[in-house]
């Protein structure tokens, strides 16, 4: 059976005045990916926003994608790039493949329905969901090139271990129910949180929101996945408030649920929160 190519698309919001540095480093990254045989990159500019680009990564195979993600030279260039932009992974881009990558961009579909974000709404999270969410998990596209859409294969072990370590710091003197969370940013940083209880129970804060609020307060705006660890026999899923807050800031990220021994289940947030309240209802 022939290996399937893997496609991922990342929306890039370049810092004002840093476009030259961004283009230089992006060119170096594209050349490196091609030279090492991992696949190809296409950079598309959003015609409606001078500082917004879309990086379309077409990996030769899932194995090549995983190898590229662990390549030290690529990681170094991406760290340098992260100084000049905010990035947002877009998972489901099958429609862009179907109409031709060279001529399509995620902005085209938004404009067909009216781009309601305007320049006053900040571009972070996962496209702010002002048009129908096309990113409900990876799906396959039939045709000459069979594509598995989504980010490169996840390696959750380090993230899960960080969540378990965070759990040990939980302040759970009332319930004795400790939870740890580890949130991964688009540039590979891990921000952890634990549940913090209060004698006024309504002021208790869940591990997931602690991790997210820490990350946002430190300037992070793009996230790919979160691991949640608890000592329970069944998977401990985020509460409704955490699901809503995660959706607001991180979109359809991956949610990894684990106990103290193993990963129990993995979901896309859209599965856990199929009908979120978001910016569409208040614009």
Which residues participate in catalysis according to the annotation? 208
Radius of gyration of the chain (CA): 19
Beta strand pairing status for 179-185 and 190-194? antiparallel
Q: Of the candidates 247, 225, 229, which has an alpha carbon nearest to the alpha carbon of residue 237? A: 229
Tokens of 210: 């602690």
SS3 282: coil
Contact 255, 268 (CB under 8 A): yes
In DSSP notation, 155-177 reads --HHHHHHHHHHHTT-B-TTT--
Q: Of the candidates 263, 4, 275, 238, which has an alpha carbon nearest to the alpha carbon of residue 129? A: 275
């Amino acid at each position: 059976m022939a290996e399937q190519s893997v496609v991922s698309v990342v929306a890039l919001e370049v810092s004002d005045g840093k476009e030259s540095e961004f283009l230089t480093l992006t060119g170096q990254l594209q050349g490196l990916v091609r030279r090492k045989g991992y696949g190809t990159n296409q950079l598309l500019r959003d015609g409606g926003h001078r500082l917004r680009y879309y990086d379309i990564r077409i990996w030769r195979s899932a194995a090549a994608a995983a190898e590229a993600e662990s390549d030290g030279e690529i990681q170094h260039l991406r760290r340098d790039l992260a100084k000049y932009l905010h990035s947002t992974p877009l998972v489901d881009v099958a429609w862009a493949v179907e109409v031709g990558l060279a001529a399509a961009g995620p902005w085209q579909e938004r404009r067909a329905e009216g781009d309601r974000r305007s320049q006053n709404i900040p571009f972070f999270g996962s496209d702010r969901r002002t048009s129908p969410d096309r990113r409900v998990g990876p799906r396959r596209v039939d045709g000459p090139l069979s594509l598995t859409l989504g980010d490169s294969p996840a390696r959750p072990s380090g993230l899960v271990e960080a969540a378990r370590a965070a759990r040990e710091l939980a302040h759970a003197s009332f319930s004795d129910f400790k939870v740890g969370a580890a949130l991964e940013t688009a540039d590979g940083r891990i921000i952890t949180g634990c549940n913090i209880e209060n004698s006024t129970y309504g002021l208790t804060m869940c591990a997931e929101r602690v991790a997210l609020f820490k990350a946002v307060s430190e300037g992070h705006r793009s996230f790919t996945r979160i691991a949640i660890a608890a000592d329970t026999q069944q998977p401990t899923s985020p509460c409704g408030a955490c699901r809503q807050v995660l959706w607001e800031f991180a979109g359809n990220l991956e949610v990894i649920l684990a106990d103290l021994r193993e990963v129990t289940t993995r979901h896309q947030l859209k599965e856990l929160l199929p009908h979120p309240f978001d910016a569409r209802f208040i614009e």
